[in-house]
Chain A
Amino acid sequence: MNTTYYRMELRRVVRDYMSLFFTAVLPAFLYVIFGASQGYSQEMLPTGEGNVAFYMMVSMAVYGAVTATTSIGGMAAVERMQGWGRQLGLTPMRDPQYVLVKTVLGLTVAAIPVTLIYALGFFTSAQGTGHLWVLTALLALVGAAMFSLYGLVFGLAFKTEGAVSAASGSLVILAFLGNLFFPLSGAMLMVAKFTPLYGIVALARYPVTDGWLISTDGPPVHEPLWVPVASVTVWLVIFATLAILLVQRGRGRQ
């Protein structure tokens, strides 16, 4: 990998305080509000593998991670179309090298909120079986990688930095709809299963929930593993197809 390019990209991320705040600090803050400081946070999950605070910690880590990957995917699309792609086209750097740098960058930046929130969880009230800390954190990161495609699609389609901000902003709505911020039930839960964040966050939490969904108005409901797996697969195909179509459209216009 081109490490000079990677280090430069990392510096750009660190310099952009505002984005970094929304990526790292805001999800951590949400964890403290909705997770650590609530009375129910000490309650154990049905599996006994962790408590509610741990469950909220994983959820907010996923939220922070997808915010990071969405903005990096989106900015990659925008900067390429604003002429940087032409500049790189004049160098021996090949597209797969560029994609590799941006992918590793996305994972690095996504790791910032995950690390921060897990540290907060560790020092406050989150409890979980030892290896689940590592496993859920890795699942959050891998799942978030899919959302770099989500950002890429917005960037390719609308070609402005504003569109990328809008894509990051839309994650708040998708997080609510995806059963991420607040446990849904009934019809809302049914709708949730068809939204793109649902599968990622359900899979990241799976090691600690074993498929038992928390509910605010009744006993826990069990969901088989294939539901979130199917959700992630379908959305991955949708995002990838849209991205490929938009890249082809961009080429045809050159």
Chain B
Amino acid sequence: MTTTAQSAVDLVGVTKTFRPPGADPVEAVRDIDLSIGRGEIVAFLGPNGAGKTTTLDMVLGLTDPTSGTVSVYGRAPRAAVLGGLVSAVLQTGGLLHDLSVRETVAVIASTYRDPQPVDEVLERAGLSALARRRVSKCSGGEQQRLRFALALLPNPDLLILDEPTAGMDVGARHEFWATMRAEVSAGRTVIFATHYLEEADTFAERIVMIARGAVVADGATQEIRARATGRTVTATLPPDRLDGAVRQLRATDSVTDVDTAGDRVVVRAGDSDAVALLLLSELGGTGLEITTGSLDDAFLALTSDGAQR
């Protein structure tokens, strides 16, 4: 076994530039390096136009990178698709409206050598009751579950979901993720793109934030959440106790970052109350301030133009 066989997806120096005729070239993806291990559940989080879909298209072999290499289970992406190792739920389109739900599943099943049984896949995607319904008469959520059923056919090791809940109402979204959860416990690797922070937070183990075609943050969900949702606590400390206090703060749970500015200490932490209590009592701090940002503010801060990795 080679080392690449340990990971599900490897992107090395991947760049994708579109050259629309008569317009300036667009760099949709800029020099992304990323490795996703087997069994990981990873969210690609980023605003619209960040390059999430383009990146996923390259992993699926639907488009080729301008430079760099993409490998899936150590193979070329298209080879992985042909081997039934990878499948995906795509963002839009992709269905023939004059077919029934069951016909759609049957016809895609016919392209695989050894597909999962059609009825079983319909059952797992919660579509058994709708099997005879025309695709054109299905709601957006139902069509999305149909795309999900299609993705289950090859029994893939890697499942890619490109904004799977876009356009669904809250109820449909919860239902979709409930179905997903059951499927994923089977040890699959899952990559999904979303711009809902809350989805990434509840479902992913790891979050890769993408903005303007580049990775701006990458880490365990708890870590990213702390960075995104934490508050900043600042206080003035007695100068002689500053060094000791910084060491103690760094050792505290939920603290992600400690800085000093003169005799003021700047602490970023998930649990700001505990830090504030510590600063005011044990550490003898004064002039305490707590500033907070919303999830969305933090997200924007990480992904906006000014932010650097």
Interface set of A (CB-CB < 8 Å, partner B): 2, 4-5, 8, 11-12, 15-16, 79, 82-84, 86-93, 252-254
Q: Shortest CB–CB separation between residue B59 and chain A, in angstroms? A: 11
Within residues 119 to 170 of chain B, which ones have a CB less than 8 A from any CB in chain A? 147, 150-151
* Contact flag A90-B87 (CB < 8 Å), given A5-B111, A83-B92, A254-B63: yes
Among B98-106, B193-201, B283-291, B300-308, the stretch in contact with A:
B98-106
Q: Is B88 a contact partner of A90 (Cβ separation < 8 A)?
A: yes
* Per-residue contact bits, chain B 53-95, to A (CB 8 Å; 1 contact, 0 not): 0000100111100000000000000000110101110101111
Q: Is B94 a contact partner of A16 (Cβ separation < 8 A)?
A: no
Q: Is B96 a contact partner of A79 (Cβ separation < 8 A)?
A: yes
User: Total number of A-B contacts with CB less than 8 angstroms?
Assistant: 72
**Which 10 residue pairs are nearest across A and B when measured between Cβ atoms?**
A83-B93, A4-B110, A93-B111, A91-B111, A87-B94, A83-B94, A92-B82, A8-B107, A89-B62, A254-B63
* Residues on the A chain within 8 Å of B19, using CB: 252
Q: Is B93 a contact partner of A84 (Cβ separation < 8 A)?
A: yes
Q: Is B81 a contact partner of A92 (Cβ separation < 8 A)?
A: yes
Q: Is A92 a contact partner of B84 (Cβ separation < 8 A)?
A: yes
Q: Is A86 a contact partner of B103 (Cβ separation < 8 A)?
A: no
Q: Which residue of A lies closest to B160 (CB)?
A: A90
Q: Which residue of B lies closest to A8 (CB)?
A: B107
Interface-central residue, A82, A84, A86, A91, by most chain B CB under 10 Å: A91
Complex Cα spacing A30 to B111, Å: 41
Complex Cα spacing A50 to B179, Å: 67
Complex Cα spacing A252 to B66, Å: 12
* Residues on the B chain within 8 Å of A12, using CB: 96, 98-99
Complex Cα spacing A24 to B118, Å: 34
* Residues on the A chain within 8 Å of B12, using CB: none
Complex Cα spacing A5 to B112, Å: 12
Q: Is A92 a contact partner of B112 (Cβ separation < 8 A)?
A: yes
Query: Which of A15, A86, A252, A254 makes the CB contact (< 8 A) with B94?
Result: A86
Give 6 CB contacts A-B under 8 Å. A2-B110, A84-B96, A90-B86, A90-B88, A92-B113, A254-B63
Q: Which residue of B lies closest to A251 (CB)?
A: B63
Complex Cα spacing A8 to B105, Å: 11
Q: Shortest CB–CB separation between residue A237 and chain B, in angstroms? A: 25
* Residues on the B chain within 8 Å of A91, using CB: 81, 108, 111-112
Q: Which residue of A lies closest to B89 (CB)?
A: A90
* Residues on the B chain within 8 Å of A16, using CB: 98
Q: Is A92 a contact partner of B111 (Cβ separation < 8 A)?
A: yes
Q: Is B110 a contact partner of A5 (Cβ separation < 8 A)?
A: yes
Interface-central residue, A5, A92, A252, by most chain B CB under 10 Å: A92
B262 at the interface (CB under 8 A from A): no
Q: Which residue of A lies closest to B150 (CB)?
A: A87
Q: Shortest CB–CB separation between residue A80 and chain B, in angstroms? A: 10
B171 at the interface (CB under 8 A from A): no
* Residues on the B chain within 8 Å of A93, using CB: 111
